[in-house]
Amino acid sequence: MIFDLRNLVLILLILLLGFITSWSDTKKRKISNKFVLGFLLVGFILNFSTNILDFRINYLLNLLFAFFVGFLLWYINFWNAGDGKLFLAFVSLVPVSLVFLDKTHLYSYDIIVYTFVPIFFVFLVFLIFQTSKVEFIHALRESFKPKVIFNIFVAFFSFQWVIQLANANFGLRLNLFISAIILFFIFDGLEKLLKLKLINLFYITATIRLFVDAPNIFSLNFISYFLFQLTIFIVFVYFFLHVAYFKFGVHVKIPDLKPGMLLCEKIVKKGNICTVEPDIKISLFMFLQAKTSKKKPFIDIKPKGLTLKEIQKLQELNKVGKMEVGAVLIQKRVPYAPFQFLGVIILLIINVI
């Protein structure tokens, strides 16, 4: 099957798209929309022209999943719109006959796994060598507050059950930790779209599990394994991403702000003065800390970044002395294209072998 002309063309297109976008994203911090959409269209035509119905169903399911995840990652400011389109293009170009297991197999999910696992370890090594003792201690104090840990416990308990149900009923083979990250993005996105109270949803799900899944959870094996998983998750996903929040942001003076820059901090009013508050949802469950706050931001964090009008407001307030800070934390642009390319290559190698 690998020597089929269609598959060889698709693999060559993946290599071409991967090399060009990786170079462009790393050097220019830019991905051409027209270029990526062209590859997406060609991939769709070549893959969907198969005569095998199961291949078509699986292909469309993966495109739908890729669109949904790509949109949510953009919506919560994890990556920009270009990264989401590139992810969709890569999924479109993957030769479905090479990775097909069954109609519900999400190879697009596998790409997410193979993309973000390398990112995680690269960032982890960076943080180990770049974080000072003072920053480390501060992150420990902020991360391991009793209320925060309890909310993480409830959310993790809920996530784990949803993942188990998905594995049992849909055969998705979901990895616990990566799936928890994806589920967080989905739940957080749903909260924004549908105005749901996310923490209440977690409590409801956890309560239902206590009754429905009682025979499994009230056992020594489950408790010990669950606590082990939870500890690993808190340390390696929650705590280190908390540290990364400040490492992967850069302070920009208010007069130097430009449209499209992504805030890492909310601009809030305290009386007649505007100040900033951290918005650390990138550290997964840290958002639970802030959910009790009813304070509406003066300028909130949005996927499209700061507008010209918002920048003019901040600059005017800064001129008249109504800004408590002279600079705001702006998100550094992370080049995701090389990691996405690596994720697709790993997928193909594993399936071909």
CB atoms within 10 A of CB 265: 22
pLDDT number for residue 284: 44
Residue with tokens 């060609």: 42
pLDDT number for residue 186: 62
Closest listed residue to residue 262, CA positions, set 310, 331, 311, 314? 331
Question: How many residues are there in the chain?
Answer: 353
204-239 confidence digits (pLDDT tens): 888 999 988 888 888 888 888 888 877 877 776 667
128-149 confidence digits (pLDDT tens): 777 777 777 777 776 677 877 7
Dihedral sign from CA coordinates of 20, 24, 27, 29: negative
Closest listed residue to residue 183, CA positions, set 209, 208, 210, 165? 165
Greater confidence (295 vs 310) lies with 310
CA dist 9 to 14, 110, 197, 297, 338, Å?
9, 22, 47, 50, 21
